[in-house]
Amino acid sequence: MSSTQPFNPFTDYHKNLCEYCGGFGALLSFVCLVQHLIFAIPSKITNPMIAEYFFAIIAFLLLALKKQVSIILLIISGIFSAVVVWLWMTHYAFSLVVSLFFIYHIAIIIIIFESKLPQKLKEKRKLELEEEQLWENKY
């Protein structure tokens, strides 16, 4: 593990966790969206699912950018993905990609909290504000 820099509280592990998990999650969300647009029959049940995929893409991209709000958005997106899986199952349809998407959500949320990433993101935001104040006084 590398040491942290003055205004960067992330270790290499936390940095890689954010970037790779966020990037892969956004790609998986995009695959689900493309599959949905190609194969799903438009109806009042399937059309609202499209918004969840866009929401998940945004949440995972914010995780890749190491934004503090991404944790809350990922939890909300995980709940939405559970609803989407439930809707697919109750209407006698199955999508392996959507099921993997839900499992990935759950796994990432658990890994994020086990690695204490929310505290690191709060610390990063606090350091960014301190740095802004430091530079603000020099002008």
Length of the chain equals 139
> CA–CA separation, 124 vs 136, rounded Å?
18
Kindly report the CA angle at 92 between 87 and 59, in degrees rounded to 5? 30
**pTM of the complete model:** 0.85
Contacts of 45 (CB under 8 A, 6+ apart): 87, 91
Which pLDDT belongs to residue 131? 78
pLDDT digits (tens, 9 = 90+) for 46-82: 888 999 999 999 999 999 998 889 999 999 999 999 9
Banded pLDDT at 84 (limits 50, 70, 90): very high
3-state secondary structure of 115: coil
* pLDDT at residue 2 tops 60: no
Domain ranges of the chain: 12-138
Three-state DSSP string of 95-121? CHHHHHHHHHHHHHHHHHHHCCHHHHH
Banded pLDDT at 93 (limits 50, 70, 90): confident
* pLDDT at residue 1 tops 50: no
